Amino acid sequence: MQTPERAGPPLWLLAELTYSCPLQCPYCSNPLDMADHKTELTTEEWIKVLRDARKMGATQLGFSGGEPLVRKDLEILIAEARSLGYYTNLITSGVGMDEARVKAFREAGLDHIQVSFQASSEELNNFLCGSDSFQHKLEMARQVKAQGYPMVLNFVLHRHNIDDVAAILELSKALEADYVELATTQYYGWAKHNQNNLMPTREQVKSAEAIAHQYQKDLEGQMRILYVVPDYFEDRPKPCMNGWGSIFLTIAPDGTALPCHSARIIPGLELPNVKQQSVDWIWHESPDFKKFRGFEWMKEPCRSCDEKEKDFGGCRCQALMLTGDASNTDPVCDKSPQHDALLAQVAEIEAQQVTEQPLVFRNMRESKKLSRQTN
């Protein structure tokens, strides 16, 4: 069992190479104040992180961002990762890639590319990401497949595209995707800021789920569909990060080590940085990674709950955002004393038919503006 003192290896390393991104998705999970964290680790610093984490047993590696393609040294990092024995996943919007680069990644030893789409129609896709990228994404998805990678497509669902699930799955089928991830927006970073404008209604969620399940049945053995249910509509929380400091290690662009990509919002963390500390010390010794590891930190009702080994009390960031205290039970859980308040909030958002406030797009200009407002 995990205790604050004894942790297994960080099996999953997420390397957020940069916060730069040519797109501006309003549901982006990057921090709102990303403009204040623009420094990036150098190639050598990243290579050291990869080596140290691999030595500790990290096996799955994700390159993400922002848009990882913005980094010119991506090919070098991929080659290093492959020679260390990682299974390397590139999580990208496809913007910044072309046939030659897909091929260079292949030669460097990349195992898998996940291409994200904003919607199944060109118009909505381009509106949501603030760029004319749809045709290019289609082309990149085809390239991924043509060059022998598994084709994994990712769609983030929300109020504006969740009714198109059938069209999304038809598009995926036409592209001959191997896996499709339909992930309902999780409310972190920009998504939290735009929550009232993104949260689907219960009805929308129900019908999307039914359609996804039908496709899962029809396409069994041909295309795997992962449908991630939006947890605001559940009565048990997700086992966030498989438990804090249990298997996931995120390194932010500036070298800050985080137990989950949005942990920066939790007050009182020391935010250790790989520039000053070893990955080994950060994982095993830093107060941050011990803070919610295991079960000792839990309050009631989690502490004496017989389901705590299943969901670890849910998500710490969600507990913070919804209850003001990161060590509370995630209010998605119906045993949480704050669950009713969450239901009321969801109902209130649902009732707002038309969105009065416009979507705020994710970009450095808005980030600076928001920082100024809060400081």
Partner 1 sequence: MSTETVYQLNPLFRLQWEEAQQCYVLLYPEGMVQLGASSAEILKCIDGEKSVQMIADDLSAKFDDDSVAGDVIEFFDVAAKQGWLNANT
Q: Of 77 and 349, which CB lies nearer to partner 1 in the complex structure?
A: 77
- The least CB distance from residue 222 to ligand SF4, in Å, is 28
Contact of residue 11 among ligand SF4, partner 1, none (CB under 5-8 Å per partner type): partner 1
Contact of residue 130 among ligand SF4, partner 1, none (CB under 5-8 Å per partner type): none
The torsion angles phi and psi of 89, rounded to 5 degrees, stand at -110, 130
Give the C-alpha separation, 155 to 169, whole Å.
Answer: 10
- The least CB distance from residue 155 to ligand SF4, in Å, is 12
Give the C-alpha separation, 191 to 214, whole Å.
Answer: 28
- Chain residues that interact with ligand SF4, rule: CB under 6 A: 21, 23-25, 28, 30, 65-67, 93, 129, 236-237, 301-302, 305, 307-308, 311, 313-314, 329-330, 333, 335, 362
How far are the Cα atoms of 23, 29, 56, 183, 187 from residue 361, in angstroms, in the given order?
9, 12, 38, 19, 15
Give the C-alpha separation, 34 to 64, whole Å.
Answer: 15
Q: Of 186 and 363, which CB lies nearer to partner 1 in the complex structure?
A: 186
Phi-psi label, residue 182: left if phi above 0, alpha if psi -120 to 50, beta otherwise? beta
Contact of residue 57 among ligand SF4, partner 1, none (CB under 5-8 Å per partner type): partner 1
Q: Of 79 and 305, which CB lies nearer to ligand SF4 in the complex structure?
A: 305
Q: Based on DSSP, count helices (H) and strands (E) in the chain, helices before strands.
A: 15, 9
- The least CB distance from residue 189 to ligand SF4, in Å, is 8
- The least CB distance from residue 348 to partner 1, in Å, is 35
Q: Of 60 and 273, which CB lies nearer to partner 1 in the complex structure?
A: 60
- The least CB distance from residue 242 to partner 1, in Å, is 12
160 in helix, strand or coil?
A: coil
207 in helix, strand or coil?
A: helix
Q: Quick one: DSSP state of residue 184?
A: E
Give the C-alpha separation, 89 to 17, whole Å.
Answer: 13
317 is in an annotated binding site: no
Contact of residue 307 among ligand SF4, partner 1, none (CB under 5-8 Å per partner type): ligand SF4
Q: Of 21 and 349, which CB lies nearer to ligand SF4 in the complex structure?
A: 21
Contact of residue 121 among ligand SF4, partner 1, none (CB under 5-8 Å per partner type): none
The torsion angles phi and psi of 226, rounded to 5 degrees, stand at -100, 120
Q: Of 98 and 178, which CB lies nearer to partner 1 in the complex structure?
A: 178
- Chain residues that interact with partner 1, rule: CB under 8 A: 9, 11, 56-57, 59-60, 62, 85, 87, 89, 111-112, 114, 148, 150, 152, 178-179, 221, 224
28 is in an annotated binding site: yes
- The least CB distance from residue 338 to ligand SF4, in Å, is 11
Strand partners, 157: 184
Contact of residue 144 among ligand SF4, partner 1, none (CB under 5-8 Å per partner type): none
315 is in an annotated binding site: no
Q: Do 263 and 286 contact (CB within 8 A), yes or no?
A: no
Give alpha helix (H) positions in 95-250: 99-108, 122-129, 134-146, 165-174, 189-193, 195-198, 202-218
Contact of residue 178 among partner 1, ligand SF4, none (CB under 5-8 Å per partner type): partner 1
Give the C-alpha separation, 146 to 150, whole Å.
Answer: 10
Return the closest-CA partner of residue 97 out of 144, 38, 145: 144
| C-alpha 236, offset from chain centre | 20
Binding residues: 21, 25, 28
Binding residues for [4Fe-4S] cluster: 21, 25, 28
